[in-house]
Amino acid sequence: MNASIQRDFMDITPEIEQAVREGRPVVALESTILSHGMPYPENLGFAREVEKIIREQGAVPATMAVLDGRLKVGLGEDELVRMCEGKGVLKVSRRDLPIVVAEKLTGATTVATTMILANMAGIRVFATGGIGGVHRGGQDTMDISADLQELAHTPVAVVCAGAKMILDIGRTLEYLETMGVPVLGLDTDDFPAFYCRRSGFGVDYNAKTPADVAKIAHAKWSMGLGGGMLIGNPVPQEYAMDFETMSAVIDKALKMAEDAGVKGKEITPFLLAHIVELTGGDSLKTNIQLAYNNARAAARIAVELARL
């Protein structure tokens, strides 16, 4: 915990502050998944439920955002509603952070920014849906999410359901290897593909249990290796979607983005919204369930880490 950063820039709820100070389990949550990843009002129901799931496992949830230039660690009900309604809520990744803080703007935190805030607050475990990565064609466009650089440098363990096939999963994993980021499967040999349990690409190590993940994280940070870790947790079988169907949907959404000339930070939100539309809302149900599943796993990892 950095006292001067916390004093000058951050509002951390007393509950989270105390839990961190006492070394009790805390799980960070992002807000871009709410404001730019899911429609309203489904996102609000999700935001409340995901916090509840973390509490049921004995951990404290810490949803992150930037409100009127203040870094928020833990949101109250009104603040959650504001993120979910999404009016005037910017998407804030690492490069945007100084601007929204200095100009007192309001924004949702991506995976990268949530990791930054978590680290500032002393939180080591974070649950999300899917991470950003190398976009398809990224070898030409250089569209590579800042999430990957953050995983390289910031000591937070990120639990996700893999990456969506809107990304080039093979190149995303190559990038992570180059940056020295351990990619673990939680009881899987195969890196998951968000809606689907398998991507066809392997993980570095199949960590069978949350306790195994915690042991690996503890070893990494105790040795001073720093940086983050990525944990792929496959969507539960009963909510998984058909690989071929989703491949076709994603190809269609990518074509729509190309035709509409969408670029830069708008691409991911555009694709997410159109995938929900093209699947008649089925993909949203899967998205919500996989994120609950990740919250549960992250809370268990945080509980184990607190014991070490």
Residues with catalytic annotation?
Answer: 30, 164
| Residue for token pair 């973390």 | 54
Applying CB under 6 A, the span of 48-56, 97-105, 140-148, 211-219 interacting with ligand PSU comes to: 140-148
Given 268, 283, 293, 294, the residue binding ligand PSU (CB under 6 A):
268
265 lines the binding site for ligand PSU (CB under 6 A): yes
Our CB check for ligand PSU shows the closer of 54 and 275 to be 275
Given 57, 63, 106, 110, the residue binding ligand PSU (CB under 6 A):
110
Please state, in angstroms and rounded to a whole number, the distance separating the CA atoms of residues 169 and 134: 7
Applying CB under 6 A, the span of 3-11, 41-49, 129-137, 236-244 interacting with ligand PSU comes to: 129-137
Contact 275, 286 (CB under 8 A): no
Given 1, 44, 105, 146, the residue binding ligand PSU (CB under 6 A):
146
Q: Which of 279, 302, 258 is nearest to 127 (CA)?
A: 302
Span 147-176, contacts to ligand PSU by CB under 6 A: 147, 164
CA separation (Å) from 21 to 3, 54, 87, 215, 302?
12, 19, 34, 21, 14
Our CB check for Mn ion shows the closer of 143 and 150 to be 143
236 backbone dihedrals φ, ψ, rounded to 5°: -55, 140
220 lines the binding site for ligand PSU (CB under 6 A): no
Applying CB under 6 A, the span of 207-215, 226-234, 241-249, 265-273 interacting with ligand PSU comes to: 265-273
* Burial group, residue 204, by CB count within 10 angstroms (0-12, 13-18, 19+): middle
Q: How far is the CB of 264 from Mn ion (least distance, A)?
A: 6
Span 49-88, contacts to ligand PSU by CB under 6 A: none
Q: How far is the CB of 149 from Mn ion (least distance, A)?
A: 12
Closest residue to Mn ion, judged by C-beta, is 143
Applying CB under 6 A, the span of 10-18, 128-136, 216-224, 294-302 interacting with ligand PSU comes to: 128-136
Our CB check for Mn ion shows the closer of 143 and 168 to be 143
Choose the contact partner of 304 out of Mn ion, ligand PSU, none; CB within 5 to 8 A by kind. none
Please state, in angstroms and rounded to a whole number, the distance separating the CA atoms of residues 298 and 210: 8
Our CB check for ligand PSU shows the closer of 93 and 293 to be 93
**Binding-site ranges for Mn ion (CB under 5 A):** 143
Please state, in angstroms and rounded to a whole number, the distance separating the CA atoms of residues 63 and 15: 13
For 52-81, letters b (16+ CB in 10 Å) and e give: ebbeebebbbbbbbbbeeebbbbbeeebbe
Q: How far is the CB of 212 from ligand PSU (least distance, A)?
A: 25
Contact 106, 89 (CB under 8 A): yes
Scanning 110-185, the segments in alpha helix (DSSP H) are 111-121, 138-141, 146-153, 169-178
What H or E segment, with its residue span, contains residue 206? strand 205-207
Q: What angle do CA 200, 205, 206 make, to 5 degrees?
A: 80
- The residues binding ligand PSU (CB under 6 A) are 30, 32-33, 37, 93, 110-111, 129-130, 132, 145-147, 164, 194, 265, 268, 272
